[in-house]
Amino acid sequence: MKRNVLLLPLLIFLLIAAALLWQLARNAQGDDPTNLESALTGKPVPAFRLESLETPGQYYQAEVLTQGKPVLLNVWATWCPTCRAEHQYLNRLAAQGIRVVGLNYKDDRAKAVAWLKELGNPYALSLSDSDGMLGLDLGVYGAPET
């Protein structure tokens, strides 16, 4: 009995080591656990009609995202600390000529407009998704998403 008790920690250690090695092998094969596949890959943008964040009363539809060259759609909010951290990179991308469209997600319009004035506005177009419905249709898990 005493021998079995002594082998238990060794057995637990070996199980943990095997699990870690298995996970490392999966990652080496390209199975990235942080990669969340979208159900919308290869599908058209869901239909929407959203108001401009900066110009109330001006509305846009899905076609604004599918006209001509590709766009980078960034889902962001003022309540999202990671959005603040990534904002400088979006400003750089916009400065390089990449068309970035912002989707302000479940946010207060006045706070969002003030935030863009403070940090700079990388967005060629800013849309207000105050109720989060487009985000839901896009499969957004939370902000930020790009």
Length reported for the chain? 146
C-beta of residue 101 within 8 angstroms of C-beta of residue 70: no
- Is pLDDT larger for residue 31 or for residue 121? 121
Please list the residues that pair with 50 across neighbouring strands. 60
pLDDT at 33 over 60: no
Residue 122 pLDDT grade (very low, low, confident, very high; cuts 50, 70, 90) = very high
Q: What is the pLDDT of residue 123?
A: 93
pLDDT at 34 over 70: no
Per DSSP bridges, beta strands 72-76 and 59-61 are unpaired
Q: For residue 9, how many other CB atoms are within 10 A of its CB? A: 9
C-beta of residue 40 within 8 angstroms of C-beta of residue 139: yes
Closest residue by Cα to residue 115 from 78, 144, 145:
78
Q: What is the pLDDT of residue 146?
A: 61
Residue-wise pLDDT tens digits, 50-65: 899 988 899 988 888 8
Two structure tokens written together for 58: 């001006």
Instruction: Tell me the pLDDT of the chain averaged across its residues.
Output: 82
